[in-house]
Chain A
Amino acid sequence: MTAPDHVVGVGVDLLADAIEAQAVDVTRVDWRPPMPGTEAGLATVAADPRRRAANEEAVARMLRVQAMLVDVGPASAILGLEPGHFLHAGPPITWDRASGPLRGALMGAAALEGLVDDPEDAGPLFERGQHVSLEPCHHRGAVGPMAGVVTPSMWMFVLEDPDTGARTHCTLNEGLGKVLRYGAYAPEVLDRLRWMAGVLGPLLQAAVRSSGPVDVTGILTQMLQMGDEAHNRNRAGTLMLMRDLAPALVSAAADAGFTTDDVADALRFVGGNDHFFLNLAMPACKLALDAARDIPGSTMVVAMARNGTDFGIQVSGTGDEWFTGPAQLADGLFLGDYGPDDANPDIGDSAITETAGIGGFAMATAPAIVRLVGGSVPDALATTRRMHEITLAENPRWSVPVLEFQGVPTGIDVTRVCRTGVLPQINTGMAGRVAGVGQVGAGLVTPPAEVFPTALARLAELAAAAD
């Protein structure tokens, strides 16, 4: 046997010193005890004979997915939503526990659908709950940013993986400031949504149908090399989408019954909304992660989502079960005169981007926005490196130039979060806590730590049962 030329030492430094004294390199692990109460569960799951192959399979399935934008259409047609049916972000919630921005968005959407004339009158409708129902976007193959409210008349992107035919969906992005997804419901908010359903959606539909599918995963690959992390910065992605769709949009408009002014309005709206591509990045991430669902023994997180009250995660090996804890307040910068007291706890399905390895996980590639979320460039590099501690793989398609083109940290592993106490880093917008206010800031947030030990305990229970 030949002597190893490198040793990894975890534990007592003295033993590593003794090896270095024999002129062999040692990489020392900065080991610390795991999250309290996880010791036994970690051992059980580590010893689960299904775990390694299950996680390899989860990562492979996820990385195989190609997300193509194949269609645009109203939620009534695409998801079969009926009047009175409301989708929302995050894990399941009822009106009585809903936060201000979710209530505001539901109230605005009720008016948009004609269930009430004035959004302010919608409260009793939801309190009685007789003619309305709430359901998470995630349960219907969709994701929604912030409040994530989807109703039948809203238009949605349809993304498809050509290999499997699997699909995911997301509404069209309304822009920043006073918008429904941040809980605003003023008349101009509803007017904008009506224009999106009447002009923007049908124009995009005509363009996509005439140009053929748009490779969303491919745009993500490029935008990550252009300073976007695809959660709080989507500028390059938005412009590339325009580049791909504008010619078809111009040529198909007339046949679809739209004027050149409509086309100009649509292009101005998309070009003027740096976040337009977010609503394609999110369903692309969900499409990839959905492929990794339901693999027995896998400890990979397949969804992180917040409804403004609860933060929930779903894990491949535990099916559709949500593990929830209280949504946290983001730490960051505020718009205008707003301050921490004005902010609602974390909300939105957009943490699906972090779950897929971008957003906060790819912070190193987006130095332009580190100040927006209250950080520095070294922080951004450190954040992406730190996320490799809790992930199973690197994504070879999505790479970060400044980190020597290292792939983004991919596939959050529940066990590694419990072992290191390192929590997933999420970039997020902040909604006002009062219904109707809209966006008040942007910042950084993490899940409540306890959701990971809870998920681990369930994984351990299932591992023991499978033994």
Chain B
Amino acid sequence: MTEHVELRHGAYADSVTLLQVSRTVQDEAGVVAAQVAMATPLNLEVLAGMGFTVPAAAPDDLVVALRLDESAELDSVLAAVDAALSRSTAPSGGTTEHAPPRTTATALRLAPQALVLVSVPGAHALVEAVDALDAGSDVMVFSDNVPLAQEVALKRMASERHLLVMGPDCGTAVVGGLGLGFANVTSPGPVGIVAASGTGCQQLLALLDHAGVGVSSALGVGGRDLSAEVRGLSTRTALTRLDADPGVELIVLVSKPPASDVAAEIEEYADSLATPVELALLGPGQPDLTAAAESVLRRLDRDVPAWPVTGSADAPLLPDGSILRGLFVGGTLCEESRLIAGELLGADRVDLVDFGADELTGGRAHPMIDPTLRLEQLSRAAADVRTGVVLLDVVLGHGAEPDPSALLAPAVTAAERPVVVSVVGTAHDPQDLDRQVRILAEAGAEVHLSNATATRRAVELLGGGR
């Protein structure tokens, strides 16, 4: 067994690209383990977990870590690393005379009026987003790990200029039918969504789609927009935009639990608009996302369908299995389950992890793209005899993994205990919703479209629901 660890200064590639490079290199003959990643604290931890010893490194250094068996030639594997890296970083055509733009400002000179989508590492996101505002463009900031003070500064600047900042940490948006980030495929329709919650928005899109109601725009504003610091700066702009759209009959505002005084201010602002606003602000004692979707349907005089359930969680409960283990890729879905299960089971029987949280994504792709960390944790949860029921979410749509169930299904079967999954997606999502649901159901999971019903079912399987 040979180990090779090297640092490359001044080499940079984004986390998704490096994920692809790592996978390509892993497939080389004789490679036992390979990780090509930026040396962020999180990635260094992952590398240590894989048993690699990495010398002192800065986050801008690229780490190449390889473990090879006797059959492998280090030189040829390194050549494969270089080939994979250069393939991924080669400019997409053109000569050196027409080098691609290096900043958002330059790109906007070539394409004025364009919408800007920022997904660079969080520490660098403000600068690119300000380029957009300086050029008079709206901007979606997909990046997470953006300091709160920078978010406030950015949104103040945007607010003064009547421009919209979607984000930071905005995973999902639909602008006039165009899906950005992890957006689901929806039909045009009478609903406009303002979402301080990415997967909360996706849950609404999925439920409304199932009920046959389209959504014309879903403007994400970032999970902290209704916090005491940000005070709904982007929410106000987004509400104003949707209010001005003649195609929007009903606006839904969905948010992670907001600061209460900010919620009151926004409610007052919403009341001043010509278009009615349905508030779906999560919190203790508040309606869950599914209840909010049902309320929307009733306000639009539509029938509320039965939310689909496929398969059944047949595996028996283990004797010591009393804990609900939830492993989520969706932050709001995790939050919703915590509210529901916490109330029914008590906090000490509920153990939920959000793999999309800032501290688990520094220098790594989002778990909707890179499932590695959650799959590892799932096998650990299955090895723990106290794990009673496993609760998972799978989020479909543009940008997300092409076939998430394929990797998850064997782990569901291997868990050998009841597994409940919410698969959040619409009928026309690229992953094929029906197929994803079927694969998980065949692997032994009970699959719901509604995360709230999935959570209640998991609690019920644990004998909760007092």
Specify the main secondary structure of chain A where it touches its partner: mixed
Interface string of B63-100 (1 = CB under 8 A from A): 00000000000000000000000000001100111111
| B175: interface (CB < 8 Å) | yes
Q: Tell me which residues from 1 to 32 in chain A have a Cβ below 8 Å from any Cβ of chain B.
A: 1-4, 6-16, 18-19, 21-22, 24-25, 27-32
B104's nearest neighbour on chain A, judged by CB, is A10
Contacting pair B130 A47 (CB below 8 A)? yes
A382–B96 CA distance with the chains assembled, in angstroms: 7
Partner among A6, A22, A47, A422 whose Cβ is within 8 Å of the Cβ of B179: A22
A49 to B157, CA, bound (A): 8
- Is there contact, CB below 8 Å, between B117 and A10? yes
CA distance A312 to B70 in the complex (A): 56
Q: Report A383-440 residues with CB < 8 Å from chain B CB.
A: 385-386, 388-389, 415-416, 419-420, 422
**Does the CB pair B114–A7 fall under 8 Å?**
yes
- CB atoms of A15 and B180 under 8 A apart: yes
Min C-beta distance of B387 to chain A, whole Å: 33
A13–B14 contact, CB under 8 A? yes
State the Cβ distance, A53 to closest chain B Cβ, in Å: 10
Decide if B8 is an interface residue (CB 8 Å cutoff).
no
Indicate whether B37 reaches chain A with its CB closer than 8 angstroms. Answer: no
Indicate if B306 sits at the interface (CB-CB under 8 A): no
Give, as a whole number of angstroms, the nearest-CB distance from B153 to chain A.
4
Encode A324-356 as 1/0 by CB contact (under 8 A) with B. 000000000000000000000000000000000
- Chain A residues closer than 8 Å to B157, beta-carbon distance: 47, 49
- Knowing A12-B14, A18-B398 are in contact, say whether A389-B102 is a contact too (CB < 8 A): yes
- Given A19-B117, A385-B98, A12:B103 Cβ within 8 A: no
Interface flags, B214-236, vs A, CB<8A=1, else 0 = 00110000000000000000000
Known A10-B120, A27-B111, A419-B127: A3·B176 in contact at CB below 8 Å: yes
* Total count of chain B residues near the partner, CB < 8 A: 68
With an 8 A cutoff between CB atoms, is B177 at the interface? yes
Stretch of A34-42, A162-170, A202-210, A249-257 lying at the B interface: A34-42
Does A33 count as interface, using CB distance less than 8 angstroms? Answer: yes
Q: A12-B14, A29-B128, A33-B121 are in contact. List 17 more A-B contacts (CB 8 A).
A: A3-B176, A7-B178, A8-B114, A8-B137, A11-B142, A13-B14, A18-B181, A21-B398, A30-B91, A31-B120, A43-B150, A47-B154, A49-B157, A382-B99, A385-B97, A416-B105, A419-B103
Q: How far is the CB of B39 from chain A (nearest CB, A)?
A: 12
Contact between A7 and B117, CB atoms less than 8 A apart: yes
In the bound complex, what is the Cα–Cα distance between A110 and B288 (angstroms)?
87
Check if A11 sits within 8 Å of B99, measured CB to CB.
Answer: no
- Neighbouring A residues of B132 by C-beta, 8 Å: 8
Q: Which residues of A contact B176 (CB under 8 A)?
A: 1-4
Other-chain contact of A422, B102, B105, B113, B175 (Cβ < 8 Å): B102
* Residues in chain A near residue B399, CB distance under 8 A: 14-15, 18
> A124 in the interface, Cβ–Cβ < 8 Å?
no
Q: Are B175 and A33 in contact (CB under 8 A)?
A: no
Residues of B within 8 A of A420 (CB): 102-103
Give A408 to B78 CA distance when docked, in angstroms.
43
**The residue from B15, B98, B134 contacting A12, defined by CB atoms under 8 A apart:** B15
Question: Is the CB of A140 closer than 8 A to any CB of chain B?
Answer: no
Asked if A1 contacts B217 (CB within 8 A), the reply is yes
Residue contact A19 to B16, C-beta cutoff 8 Å: no
In the bound complex, do residue A8 and residue B115 qualify as a contact, i.e. CB atoms below 8 Å apart? yes
Task: Quote the shortest CB–CB distance from B121 to chain A (angstroms).
Answer: 8
Considering the complex, give the chain B residue whose CB is closest to the CB of A388.
Answer: B106
CB-CB contacts of B120-147 with A at 8 A, as 1s and 0s? Answer: 1101101110101010010000110001
Bound Cα distance from A419 to B128, whole angstroms: 10
Task: Name the interface size band of chain A.
Answer: 35 or more
**How far apart sit A11 and B137, CA to CA, in the bound complex (Å)?**
17
For chain B, residues 134 to 185, give those with C-beta under 8 angstroms from any C-beta of chain A.
Answer: 134, 137, 142-143, 147, 150, 153-154, 157, 175-181
B107 touches A27 (CB 8 A): yes
Q: What would be 28 A-B contacts, judged by CB atoms less than 8 Å apart?
A: A1-B175, A2-B176, A4-B114, A6-B115, A7-B116, A8-B111, A8-B117, A10-B117, A10-B128, A11-B118, A12-B142, A15-B119, A15-B181, A18-B399, A19-B117, A19-B179, A29-B107, A31-B103, A36-B58, A39-B124, A47-B126, A52-B134, A382-B96, A386-B99, A388-B106, A389-B101, A389-B102, A389-B103
Q: Give the chain B neighbours of A34 by CB distance below 8 A.
A: 124, 127
CB pair B241–A1 under 8 Å, yes or no, is yes
A435 to B257: give the CA distance in the assembly, Å: 74
Quick check: B16 and A12 within 8 Å, CB to CB? Answer: yes
Residues of A within 8 A of B111 (CB): 6, 8, 25, 27
Q: How far, in Å, is A250 (CB) from chain B's closest CB? A: 46
Interface check A381, CB cutoff 8 A:
yes
The 10 closest A-B pairs by CB, nearest first: A11-B119, A3-B176, A3-B178, A4-B115, A18-B398, A6-B114, A47-B153, A30-B100, A12-B119, A46-B130
Q: Given contacts A7-B116, A19-B180, A32-B12, are A378 and B96 in contact (CB under 8 A)? A: yes
Interface residues of A in 30-79 (CB under 8 A from B): 30-34, 36, 39, 42-43, 46-47, 49, 52
Interface hits, B220-258 → A, CB 8 Å: 241-242, 245
Asked if B109 is at the interface (CB within 8 A of a chain A CB), the reply is: yes
Distance (Å) between the CB of A463 and the closest chain B CB? Answer: 11
Chain A contacts for B153, CB-based, 8 A: 47
Is B17 engaged at the interface, CB distance under 8 Å to the other chain? yes
Closest B residue, CB atoms, query A39: B123
Cα-based distance from A31 to B106 in the complex (angstroms): 11
On whether the beta carbons of A22 and B398 are closer than 8 Å, the reply is yes
B287 to chain A, nearest CB (A): 27
Q: Which residues of B contact A415 (CB under 8 A)?
A: 127
Question: Do the beta carbons of B126 and A8 come within 8 Å of each other?
Answer: no
Identify which of A14, A29, A39, A382 contacts B102 (C-beta below 8 A): A29
CB distance from B59 to the nearest CB of A (A): 9
Q: Are B99 and A10 in contact (CB under 8 A)?
A: no
CB of B60 within 8 Å of the partner chain: yes
Residues 356-376 (chain B) with a chain A CB within 8 angstroms: 365, 369
Whether B110 is near chain A, meaning CB under 8 Å from some CB there, is: yes
Q: Are A10 and B115 in contact (CB under 8 A)?
A: no
Give A394 to B331 CA distance when docked, in angstroms. Answer: 45
B108: CB under 8 A from chain A?
A: yes
* Complexed CA–CA distance, A269 and B177 (Å): 70
Query: Which of A10, A18, A388 meets B118, CB within 8 Å?
Result: A10
